[in-house]
């Protein structure tokens, strides 16, 4: 009928859609049973009689509810690749947000990143909780629903696990990078640089805002006369930064202002008592600068080490300043930013291929389960009473499949049952016979 009113090409497409519609209407579950064979036979007839083009053939093959087209596809993309890509992107986004919550210097933006990261992980956590509640309340663990539950719980559980792991890794890396490189860089950036400083002339109280200091010629560290303090298994080391690089007994080479205020510092780089200071660029003869130590956790112990040095050598340090001994302070500061940038770039890119590999493996594992009839997207159970709206938010694909199957079931034609009423049974005929005694025979 359709082909008589349409051009040949449109008539062929109309036949395809008409045939598929009839198959869907009459048999909503075409993945198994005789109905799948009927639909396959219809597809073969349409191919042979209508000379379908390539795109029409692909559309018809892909329109069945069976997973054969999906599972046996010759495409380079694995089955369920869309789920794998979507999960990979979510894992990457969660990692970036978690990392940004610790490394972004602007507090409002960092808080927003943290809220979004928590929200994404919380969404999939709620999806898993809804699945568990549905299984318990709706008794969906029964055998008739087991395959659908396995299929539709596969990606929510996997996504929740990967997003949680991504959030933990992002927070750990962000915390480490903030306290080791980024925060020290911003602290130094807020301080002032000074050049050609002579510790024998310039008192420490004038350089309380110093960040990067280039000392004048002839300034060095007296490595043999330092101080130390041991706490919790760590040795905190200090050594005086002096003009001529040597500490004399008595009042010899005492600074003009009467106090020693410049110290090179480090952790676990000397013995105690400290007579062999090996912190920073101690082996570099060209080292003649200092980067202000911004390690606030070590600063109290450095002060105690200075007290030990004062008691040992009977000297006074009124305004001690602590420095990491380096050759070029400005270059070292640039190295700090470069280290942070490169590590951040590599760290933020690494989760994407790792998550994609895991999701592709998971997709192929699900393909094996579907082929083995352990999991199936069909025969989705009805949402338990009271959880319909929750399914719409957290399990939209599962709810959509259930509603689609229900609509197909309701669309099946309802025909009146044939009338098998009682049929009139003829009475047996009575025939008189000439039997003795006038008896009648049947």
Cis peptide, bond prior to residue 273, ω within 30 of zero: yes
Find the mean pLDDT for residues 80-98.
91
Give the confidence band of 250 by pLDDT, cuts at 50, 70, 90. Answer: low
Per-residue pLDDT at 252: 67
Burial code of 393-406, b = ≥16 C-beta within 10 A, e = fewer?
ebbeebbebbeebe
Residue 107: Cβ within 10 Å count: 8
Query: Over 80: is that where the pLDDT of 3 sits?
Result: no
Q: How confident is the model at residue 144 (pLDDT cuts 50, 70, 90)?
A: confident
Distance separating alpha carbons of residues 337 and 243, to the nearest angstrom: 31
pLDDT of 258 strictly over 50: yes
Q: Which two tokens stand for residue 362?
A: 């998971």
Cβ atoms of residues 315 and 281 within 8 Å: no
Helical H segments across 178-286, by residue range: 183-190
**What's the Cα-to-Cα distance from 411 to each of 28, 170, 407, rounded to whole Å?**
9, 50, 6
pLDDT tens digits for range 194-220: 999 999 999 999 999 999 999 999 899
**Burial of residue 48, with CB atoms counted within 10 A of its CB: 0-12 exposed, 13-18 middle, 19 or more buried:** exposed
**Cα–Cα distance for residue pair 364/360, rounded to 1 Å:** 6
Q: What tokens appear for 217 in the block?
A: 């010629």
Query: What are the tokens at 176?
Result: 């480490």
Most confident of the ranges 10-19, 44-53, 248-257, 416-425? 248-257
Q: 11: exposed, middle or buried (C-beta count within 10 Å: 0-12, 13-18, 19+)?
A: middle
Determine the Cα–Cα distance for residues 236 and 322; give it in Å rounded to an integer: 12
* Confidence band for 265, pLDDT divided at 50, 70 and 90: very high
Per cent of the chain over pLDDT 90 is: 50
């Amino acid at each position: 009928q359709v082909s008589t009113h349409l051009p040949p090409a449109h008539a062929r497409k109309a036949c395809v859609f008409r045939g598929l519609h009839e198959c869907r209407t009459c048999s909503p579950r075409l993945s198994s049973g005789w109905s799948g064979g009927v639909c396959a036979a219809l597809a073969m007839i349409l191919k042979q009689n209508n000379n379908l083009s390539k795109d029409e053939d692909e559309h018809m093959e892909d329109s069945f509810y069976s997973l054969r087209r999906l599972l046996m596809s010759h495409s380079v993309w694995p089955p369920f690749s869309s789920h794998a890509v979507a999960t990979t992107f979510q894992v990457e986004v969660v990692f970036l947000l978690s990392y940004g919550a610790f490394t972004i210097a602007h507090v409002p933006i960092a808080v927003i990143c943290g809220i979004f990261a928590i929200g994404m992980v919380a969404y999939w956590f709620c999806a898993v909780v809804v699945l568990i509640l549905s299984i318990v309340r709706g008794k969906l663990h029964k055998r008739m629903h087991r395959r659908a539950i396995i299929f539709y719980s596969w990606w929510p559980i996997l996504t929740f696990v990967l997003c949680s792991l991504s959030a933990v890794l992002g927070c750990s890396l962000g915390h480490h990078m903030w306290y080791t490189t980024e925060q020290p860089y911003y602290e130094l950036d807020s301080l002032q640089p000074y050049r050609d400083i002579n510790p024998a002339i310039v008192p420490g109280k004038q350089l309380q805002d110093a960040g990067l200091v280039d000392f004048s010629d002839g300034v060095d560290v007296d490595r043999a006369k330092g101080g130390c303090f041991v706490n919790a298994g760590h040795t905190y080391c200090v050594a005086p930064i002096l003009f001529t690089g040597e500490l004399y007994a008595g009042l010899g080479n005492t600074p003009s202002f009467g106090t020693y205020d410049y110290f090179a510092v480090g952790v676990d780089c000397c013995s105690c008592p400290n007579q062999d200071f090996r912190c920073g660029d101690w082996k570099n003869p060209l080292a003649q600068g200092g980067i202000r130590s911004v390690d606030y956790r070590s600063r109290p112990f450095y002060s105690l080490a200075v007290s030990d040095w004062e008691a040992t050598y009977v000297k006074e340090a009124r305004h001690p300043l602590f420095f990491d001994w380096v050759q070029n302070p400005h270059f070292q500061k640039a190295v700090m930013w470069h280290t942070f940038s490169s590590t951040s770039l590599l760290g933020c890119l690494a989760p994407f291929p790792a998550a994609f590999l895991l999701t592709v493996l998971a997709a192929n594992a699900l393909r094996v389960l579907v082929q083995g009839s352990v999991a199936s997207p069909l025969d989705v159970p009805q949402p338990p009473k009271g959880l319909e709206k929750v399914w719409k938010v957290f399990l939209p694909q599962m709810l959509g499949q259930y509603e689609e199957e229900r609509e197909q079931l309701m669309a099946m034609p309802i025909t009146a049952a044939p009338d098998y009423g009682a049929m009139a049974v003829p009475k047996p005929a009575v025939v008189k016979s000439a039997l003795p005694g006038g008896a009648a025979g049947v």
